[in-house]
Amino acid sequence: MTANAKTIAAAIALGTIATFVSGCAGRGGGGPADTAYVARDVETLYATAKERLDRGNPTLAAALFDEVERQHPYSPWARRAQLMSAFSYYVARDYTKSIQSAQRFLSIHPGNKDAPYAYYLIALSYYEQISDVERDQKVTEQALTALREVERRFPQSEYAADARLKIDLVRDHLAGKEMAIGRFYEKSGRWTAAQIRFQNVVENYQTTSHAAEALYRLTETSLALGIPQEAKKYAAVLGANYPGSEWYDKAYELVEDHAADTQVALAN
């Protein structure tokens, strides 16, 4: 994930939460050093949690917001505290607890006006956990599902606009994973297995930045498998869609030099 993408996510999250808590804080003051049970009035407890968050201690803030709900479960402050807890865990990079808190909020208040933000926070928490393409991409799939849910449920919201941008980035990431596996198979001489991966990119991720290379790799593997007509077909598609790309130039040279060969030296 790029630094710019994280900056956008954080900016939206912080802007939203600032609006959400506007007018909610009661008495500011100090606060407890920990969350050991002490009966406190709800406004003081909520304000203490908010103060901890503002002072850069989101983990303690989250625990205090949880305490608001525990001590005052039927108060209007409990609803606010649930979502603030989810946000605090997100800021603390405890994404699992952030997701759990947001899901709890939605299970209790599915039609609440802040439900769109809760869905968005879940998506962000998955998105922030996306790892490089060399690792398992289960969380990437979860991020894509959650982002699509935001877009589906709230298509006109600011969250949907950001979700659409992130969906493109996630799809590009998943295509990159397919390409990495395909290149591994190709270098191992497992041409058919490599082709399956490259074809998946062409068929399911054709709008990503990896599509042109996937077509080139299909040209390579087709020649390696001894089916030059297929290689020419992929090179032609590459030329039609990416005529000025380096991948088309390489594919053209490859077909010109090896169209009759059954094995070719792989490009680097």
Residue 148, C-beta contacts closer than 8 angstroms, at least 6 positions apart = 163, 167
Mean pLDDT score of the chain = 85
How far CA 195 is from CA of 99, 172, 238, in Å, comes to 37, 18, 15
pLDDT digits (tens, 9 = 90+) for 121-158: 999 999 999 988 778 889 999 999 999 999 999 999 99
pTM of the shown model: 0.78
End-to-end CA separation in angstroms for the chain: 25
pLDDT digits (tens, 9 = 90+) for 193-227: 999 999 999 999 999 999 999 999 999 999 999 99
pLDDT digits (tens, 9 = 90+) for 70-108: 999 888 899 999 999 999 999 999 999 999 999 999 999
Q: What percent of the chain has pLDDT over 70?
A: 81
**What's residue 96's pLDDT?**
97
pLDDT digits (tens, 9 = 90+) for 17-41: 444 443 333 333 344 445 554 567 8
pLDDT digits (tens, 9 = 90+) for 154-192: 999 999 999 999 999 999 999 999 999 999 999 999 999
Residue 10 has pLDDT above 60, yes or no: no
CA distance 88 to 247: 46
Helices (H), the chain: 3-21, 42-54, 58-71, 76-91, 95-108, 115-127, 138-153, 158-187, 191-204, 211-224, 228-241, 246-258
- Residue 164 φ/ψ, nearest 5 degrees: -65, -40
Which residue is listed with tokens 């190709």?
186
Sort residue 56 into left (φ over 0), alpha (ψ -120 to 50) or beta.
left
Q: Which of 99, 98, 49, 97 is nearest to 72 (CA)?
A: 49
**What's residue 38's pLDDT?**
57
Report residue 259's pLDDT band, with 50, 70 and 90 as the boundaries.
low
